[in-house]
Structure 1
């Protein structure tokens, strides 16, 4: 399947009470994404991949590809602290039937641009799949240089190398990337849809929000695609406060799983330990109120 843009939600990974991946809940979650209008699905940081073994990541990717059943693109994150294991994951994703792979830089040690170039080049060379280079510094690590990203596109081409820029300030850095690549860079927004108002006019080809608010982000994307400026502003204004409840990775995972449970998509809200955040009653009250406001704006209160 050819890589497509649009709304490609990052799946939460459902766990059972024994902290094992729950395949039944996972299949329901994937089905729900397409029911809400998703153009594909993604496995990435919010999927708790840093808490999964390599074999679990391979198994998760295979399960998601099977559940997706050619209904849309499937992007599989393969970034690792080891180039050897990152390339293993990339090859496995290709064998499994993924549409594209995505990779963050190693995060345990700071690397110079030449080392990062070698890491991403090795991943790109290991598979025929397109590679989305994710600057995940909004959550972890340090920002990647624009010149390095432009070099990767120059070396491999715009159909092979795509981007998910998350370093701040997001808008100006996205414009800098577009300028450095002669407007050839294909980039995905990665801020839960909250930055789409700023990044869509700068040329993003899609967004990778969490999997809890796919219906809202899809409505926002549709409004932007169809130049419905007032409608896009209205949805964005209701979406932003809810996304802003999750400033960090563990916070995002906890709120996402709570909202998926609230919508009867997931039966459980388990996360893998250790986790630095648990959603408390005060946050639930605020999240419920903001969710209801967003639901009213997007769907008139209908579920």
Structure 2
């Protein structure tokens, strides 16, 4: 098994007052994330890639690849509902320097397992890069299908599990795929400890908390679940609880964390986005004060 393991944070995309990409802040985010010791860096839905133009997607990826400079793998999400656009995105990602792709199956219509394998085979042939499958609620991947994909599309070597209940899905996935796929957790990383017990070999959280996730991961790998749980419950779960209250509030929460760390100049979220109500804003301010007193660095 040669898949990606460890903590592989997803970058957030900073925007300036014109809602253009703030590449200066992006490069600072990359360095701050790498300084925590992560195993890789990703660009995906957490990066608002669905709000970027095709040109911006390429420019963001090239800037990240340039800043990473080969220190860790760079993962690019190239999911698309059609095979032709998915192939184009994958080829462009390979040309721009991505180390790996991350893809969920076509989700516009359920067209069956054979079509999923054909789709992934076309993408793999176009890019010739290792692929992380993404098992998401809008396009779930059963353990049996994951195993079949791994057997028929050799470049697929990892799966990120995000369908609910994630802990049970990780357990089922590990039991079925065995050593054919490396299993990672997702969905914000709040159940990393439970997933690790069941065989998950890492997770892909927001880059804004790369430091605390690395602290949890090191404790888990050292066999100290008590230390891992203490950090997760004190530093990660309060952020997750607030961020997932509704709509896309998690973008606002995690970008504000990066502003507090002097990584981003602004917490702007590119439209469309839901405005934070006054109560939630007060809760966010209280959370920031609490996190500021903790000993473990967020990033």
TM-score calculated relative to the size of structure 2: 0.90
Task: Please report how far the alpha carbon of residue 3 of structure 1 lies from its aligned counterpart in structure 2 after TM superposition.
Answer: 6.3
Pairing 1:274–2:276 present: no
Deviations 1:197-223 (A, max 9, x none): 111122222211011111111100111
- Matched position secondary structure for 2:17: coil
Q: 1:128 to 1:200 in 2, by over 3 A?
A: same
* Per-residue deviation, residues 23-79 of structure 1 (Å, max 9, x unmatched): 111111111111233222100111111112222212211111011112211111111
Deviation at 1:166, TM superposition (A): 0.3
CA contact (8 A) 2:174 2:200 kept: no
Deviating 4+ runs (over 6 angstroms): none
Residue 201 of structure 1 corresponds to 197
Alpha-carbon deviation of 1:106?
3.0
Aligned to 2:145: 148
Alpha-carbon spacing, 1:53–1:232, altered in 2? closer, same or farther (3 Å): same
Flag the 1:214–1:279 CA change in 2: closer, same or farther, 3 A. farther
Q: Residues 3 and 100 of structure 1 are in contact (CA less than 8 Å); yes or no, is this contact kept in structure 2? A: no
The residue matched to 2:149 in structure 1 has which SS? Answer: helix
> Where does residue 180 of structure 1 map in the other structure?
176
Please say which of residues 240-249 and 14-23 is displaced more in the overlay: 240-249
Separation in 1 of the partners of 2:136 and 2:16?
28
Matched pairs, number: 296
Question: Do the aligned partners of 1:46 and 1:249 also contact (CA within 8 Å) in 2?
Answer: no
Query: CA RMSD, aligned part only?
Result: 2.3
Give the gaps of 5 or more residues in structure 2.
none
Partner of 2:120: 120
Residue 79 of structure 1 corresponds to 79
Matched residue, 1:259? 257
What is the TM-score when the length of structure 1 is the normalising length?
0.89
Q: CA separation in 1, counterparts of 2:201 and 2:191?
A: 13
Following TM superposition, by how much is the alpha carbon of 1:81 offset from its aligned partner in structure 2, in angstroms?
A: 2.2
Aligned residue in 2 for 1:46: 46
Name 2:222's counterpart in structure 1: 226
Contact 2:19–2:268 (Cα < 8 Å) also in 1: yes
